[in-house]
Chains A and B, each alone.
Chain A
Amino acid sequence: MRTIDETTQEVLNLASKHFQVPTNSLAPDDDFFKKLGIDSLQALELLSRLENHFGIELPDYEVQGVSDFRTLASRIQSRL
């Protein structure tokens, strides 16, 4: 079982890979809309990628209003 810190780091790694930005440019408390300059649909695309990686299903309502990596990671962690 992953720790929340490991999950958060994996979320950051995947986001940096998906949107092609350096991993060290992203931090857990970053607002991913602002930091990555993405819209809500691109955020949903990232979510699908995260689901595949973690082998979980995260309904849209679970991430409604979430905009930072740390909260996103905690929502994923609760489903692992």
Chain B
Amino acid sequence: MLDLSKYQSIGAALRDALDQFAAEVCLIESDRERQKERITYRDFKERAEPLARALQDAGFKANDRAAIIMTNQSKWLISAYAIFYCRGVLVPLDYKLTPEEQWQLLKHSSASILITEYPIWRQLAASPSRGSATRVKTLLVTEAPPNADLSGAQRWEEFRATGEPAFIPRQRSDVATIVYSSGTGGRPKGCMMTHENYLEQCMPFPALYPLWPGATYLSILPTNHAIDFMLGFFYPFVNGATVVHLRTLRPEYVRAAFPKYKITYVTLVPLVLKNLQKGLQARFETLSPWKRKLFTALVAVNMAFTRSRPHVGLSRLLLKQVHEAFGGQLRAIIVGGAFTEPQVLQFFYNLGISVANAYGLTEACTGITVNDLKPFRADTVGKPLPGMQVRIVNPDSDGIGEVSVRSKTVMAGYLNEPELTAESIVDGWLMTGDLGRFDATGHLQLFGRKKNMIVTEEGKNIYPEDIEAAFESLPVKEFCVFAANYIWPKRSMVGEQLLLVLHLDQGQTLSDELRRDISVRNSRLLNYKRVHGIVLFNEDFPRTASLKIKRNILAERMAQLDRASAILPL
């Protein structure tokens, strides 16, 4: 890996990587099972620099912001590099958000450039919210059909200029990206990540999970997500490794990619890991009785030899067919983005497939702790990465308290939100809102959340306030949305649910009509944002002088209700 301690910025490190590894393949672009292209680091540079020059010619200058809304593909990374080359600030946005949400974040981020794909652009252009992000001056659209109506955008492929673009260095403390950790409601949380955050985050990785030219990383998580930006772009690139894109999340193509591209590492959210587990279990069930007996015996032998640490070579030998299904080169599956149930992790480890359970937050530039597998501990999220100071604030008698972090990877703050930043970063310590404790061996265990939010198995952070707009003008006296575990704390990170709390008008009942109204509104939300149940609360909500709901006090009052009987299914 490049010696990142010598660099001041992501752009400078990437620029050197493109030269140092010029002949290596940096990207394999597939469309399902069809391999479309292999791009070398030299190709990448030759595609990015004319784009950077065109951006500069269009007036894009230092500290200007440029947003990308794309699925995982080469043009995402090429555009990002061009933005860094111009000293710009990258705003990676989630392509799965609705067009209205995307316009809202474009406005909030003050992006002057938007780079997106044609199918996404069609929806954005048709959205009534278009026009709200008045600062967006340059619109670049990739892969538009020849006669497509571009609605004022330009073709990304044609937006090129000749002549070498000017590369002017940045400082480590400069903002590199604005990453939205959540918040498409009233209060978007745009994490301002500095160049130092990324450089420092990357530095401990090689000792744990090394990459090298020829090693392959399967990029499944969206690249706008902090994890894939780091592990599916910056980290492999500064090591000269290869990133594989599939343009689909269909389980059958994801499974097929492992042997086809001899994947070395992949990062998955728990939902996808569980899907892989389901597929493997289904295959085991088709084995004849004696083969299953033999297989069970081999798994037992593998477990005995891998108790203290993985022995990948031995596991590949013992459980050859399983490992061949994963391409035979897999070093580890990294799991992050949400809490993973220990039994799922253990299932893979028993087969000799190392699953590195990690814990982190966008606000801390991805990873805070990671399982070093020495030994494998399915019940923890591992030990702090080098350079991370992690402490438990206000521990109770069981040692459980709020996890807080201090390190060079902690963000500069939330964009335009000094108060929220001051609440989240106290004396240099990032308050995570997660509850945990360290065990005797220094492994962090998580026990739920202190904050009013949920994280889905797909790794989506959902803040209840953000989805209340869907229930606006609901014919009730007042309503709000809560995470169930915020009202009734549970020492668990699984089965998190959102609840719609209703205070009905006097004499009003929860009629079928009202239920229908709620169901229709709920169904308009993306499936992972939907509320799971209703709670009736017959008191006025406590409010501030400016009439904002005092959520913590309301939650305390609601906690007096019996959880099981209070939650009415939708």
Does A34 sit at the interface, judged by CB under 8 A?
A: yes
Does B457 sit at the interface, judged by CB under 8 A?
A: yes
B interface residues (Cβ-Cβ under 8 A, vs A): 32, 71, 95-96, 98, 117, 119-120, 247-252, 271-272, 275, 457-458, 523, 526-528, 530
- Residue pair B248, A39 in contact (C-beta under 8 Å): no
- Residue pair B96, A64 in contact (C-beta under 8 Å): yes
Cα A59 to Cα B247 in complex, Å, equals 8
What 1/0 flags go to A24-46 for Cβ under 8 Å of B?
00000001011000011100110
- Residue pair B96, A41 in contact (C-beta under 8 Å): no
Residues of A within 8 A of B98 (CB): 65
Cβ distance A29 to chain B, nearest Cβ, rounded Å: 9
- A sample of 25 inter-chain contacts (CB < 8 A) reads A31-B523, A31-B527, A34-B523, A39-B457, A40-B271, A40-B528, A41-B249, A41-B271, A41-B275, A44-B249, A44-B250, A45-B251, A45-B252, A47-B250, A57-B32, A59-B248, A60-B71, A60-B249, A60-B250, A61-B71, A61-B95, A61-B120, A62-B119, A64-B96, A65-B96
Does A16 sit at the interface, judged by CB under 8 A?
A: no
Cβ distance A68 to chain B, nearest Cβ, rounded Å: 8
Chain B, Cβ-Cβ closest to A51: B250
Cα A48 to Cα B457 in complex, Å, equals 22
- Residue pair A59, B119 in contact (C-beta under 8 Å): yes
Cβ distance B23 to chain A, nearest Cβ, rounded Å: 33
- Residue pair A67, B523 in contact (C-beta under 8 Å): yes
Residues of A within 8 A of B249 (CB): 41, 44, 60
Residues of B within 8 A of A34 (CB): 523, 527, 530
Cα A67 to Cα B252 in complex, Å, equals 21
Which listed residue (A39, A47, A60) contacts B247, Cβ 8 A?
A60
Cα A62 to Cα B250 in complex, Å, equals 13
Residues of A within 8 A of B117 (CB): 61
A60-B248 contact in complex given A39-B457, A40-B458, A41-B272, C-beta closer than 8 Å: yes
Cα A60 to Cα B71 in complex, Å, equals 10
Cα A41 to Cα B279 in complex, Å, equals 12
Residues of A within 8 A of B523 (CB): 31, 34, 67-68
Cα A48 to Cα B96 in complex, Å, equals 20
- Residue pair B251, A39 in contact (C-beta under 8 Å): no
Residues of A within 8 A of B248 (CB): 59-60
- Residue pair B250, A48 in contact (C-beta under 8 Å): yes
Residues of A within 8 A of B119 (CB): 59, 61-62
Cα A48 to Cα B530 in complex, Å, equals 25
Cβ distance A16 to chain B, nearest Cβ, rounded Å: 20
Cα A56 to Cα B251 in complex, Å, equals 18
Cα A64 to Cα B523 in complex, Å, equals 14
- Nearest first, the 3 A-B pairs at minimum CB distance are A33-B527, A61-B119, A41-B275
Residues of A within 8 A of B251 (CB): 41, 44-45
Cα A33 to Cα B271 in complex, Å, equals 15
Cα A45 to Cα B117 in complex, Å, equals 24
Chain B, Cβ-Cβ closest to A34: B523
Cβ distance B164 to chain A, nearest Cβ, rounded Å: 35
Chain B, Cβ-Cβ closest to A33: B527
Residues of B within 8 A of A40 (CB): 271, 458, 527-528
Cα A53 to Cα B250 in complex, Å, equals 16
Cα A50 to Cα B71 in complex, Å, equals 23
Cβ distance B552 to chain A, nearest Cβ, rounded Å: 31
Chain A, Cβ-Cβ closest to B31: A59
Cα A15 to Cα B251 in complex, Å, equals 17
Cβ distance B526 to chain A, nearest Cβ, rounded Å: 6
Residues of B within 8 A of A45 (CB): 250-252
Chain A, Cβ-Cβ closest to B99: A65
Cα A62 to Cα B71 in complex, Å, equals 13
Chain A, Cβ-Cβ closest to B98: A65
- Residue pair A48, B275 in contact (C-beta under 8 Å): no
Cα A29 to Cα B71 in complex, Å, equals 28
Cα A67 to Cα B117 in complex, Å, equals 22
Cβ distance B257 to chain A, nearest Cβ, rounded Å: 15
Cα A63 to Cα B98 in complex, Å, equals 13
Residues of B within 8 A of A61 (CB): 71, 95, 117, 119-120
Cα A65 to Cα B530 in complex, Å, equals 13
Cα A34 to Cα B522 in complex, Å, equals 11
Cα A38 to Cα B526 in complex, Å, equals 14
Q: 18 new A-B pairs (CB below 8 Å) besides A40-B527, A48-B252?
A: A39-B458, A40-B271, A40-B458, A40-B528, A41-B251, A41-B272, A45-B251, A45-B252, A47-B250, A48-B250, A59-B248, A60-B71, A60-B248, A61-B71, A61-B95, A61-B120, A67-B523, A67-B527
